[in-house]
Structure formats: structure tokens, C-alpha cells
Amino acid sequence: MSSSLSPHPSRYAIFIVAHGTPLLAVCDPSNPRDARTGLTPVQLLQRYQIRAIPASSNRFALRKAAVARLLNRRHGCVIDPKCTMLLDGLGRSYVHRKLRVTATTGLEYANEPVKGPTSHVCEAFQYLCLHVAHIGSEEEVVERSRVQVAKRRVV
């Protein structure tokens, strides 16, 4: 299998194809190297002449804000009904494990989502949203009733 792509490309990237634009893979920026080839996902995809870039951040709060920005934007995103894993994940199965209920903060959840069949697809969609929404690692999320993204001040 050394000459082919991983059997789970959704773990690495999601592809943008729209109205004749070139194919683009937006990859997980943590860039784990393949044990067999020693290549990062970006390097592996580039080997097959697929334009690939790392996502701007791996921070969950930024990925969540990017998805919210894209899905809440008027005419922002259309998901094909055939993307059943993504729709299932966004609708119900991509969840965070409940930790405990406290009197001061209420219900608390784990930082990492429960890994399941849809988690890799949903995370790939988050990386795509980071790229499309132009959210970079220098930004921070301001938690309010609606998700907002604010530039982080450099001191």
C-alpha cells in the first residue's frame, strides 16, 4: 500500500471542488507522519499532484467557530444529502462526553469528542471551514450567546 493514499483520507483532509476551481486538500495541521512512508498528509497528497495545505489551527474552539460562521452565513454552505456521515455527525453523533454536573458551572463536557464513525469526517469539515471562513491561529473565540471570532491582541 506504499504507493496509494491511506484508506481513510477523511482523517487528513476534505476536498473543495466548486465550479471549476482546482482541487484543494485542507489537512490536519498536527501533521502526523505515516509510519510506512514517513510522509505527512500534505506531502503524501502533493506526491499525487493534489494541492494540499495544513489548516491554520488545530484548536477546537476555532474549528467550532469556523463551522458556526460558515453554517450561519446566508448562502454559506450547501451539504449534499449524499454526505450522510457528515450530516449524521453534525446532526447528532459528533458529541463530547458528559463529565459531571456542578452547582457553579452546570454540566461539563470533555475537551475531546467521542471518537466514532463520523468524528474524522466532522473534523475534516472543521478544517475546511477554517480555510473557507479565513480563521487563523492568531484569532481567539469570544464566547457569547452567538459565536464570534475576535483578533487576539499582540502585546
pLDDT digit string, tens, across residues 41-93: 889 889 988 889 999 988 888 898 898 888 888 777 788 888 899 999 888 88
Q: Is residue 2 part of a domain?
A: no
Q: Is residue 118 part of a domain?
A: yes
pLDDT given for residue 15 in this prediction: 59
DSSP 106-155: EEEEEEEEPPSTTHHHHHHHHHHHHHHTT--TTEEEE-SSS-EEEEPPP-
Question: Residue 22 — very low, low, confident or very high, per pLDDT cuts 50/70/90?
Answer: confident
Q: Is residue 45 part of a domain?
A: yes
pLDDT given for residue 125 in this prediction: 92
pLDDT given for residue 3 in this prediction: 43
Q: Which of 86, 90, 88, 107 is nearest to 98 (CA)?
A: 107
pLDDT over threshold 80, residue 152: no
What are the cell numbers at 27?
489537512
Q: Is residue 33 part of a domain?
A: yes
Q: Is residue 4 part of a domain?
A: no
- Total domains in the chain come to 1
pTM passes above 0.85:
no
Mean pLDDT of 21-31: 83
Which range marks the domain in which residue 126 is found?
9-151
Q: Is residue 121 part of a domain?
A: yes
Scored b (16 or more CB within 10 A) or e, 133-143 reads bebeeebebee
pLDDT given for residue 138 in this prediction: 65
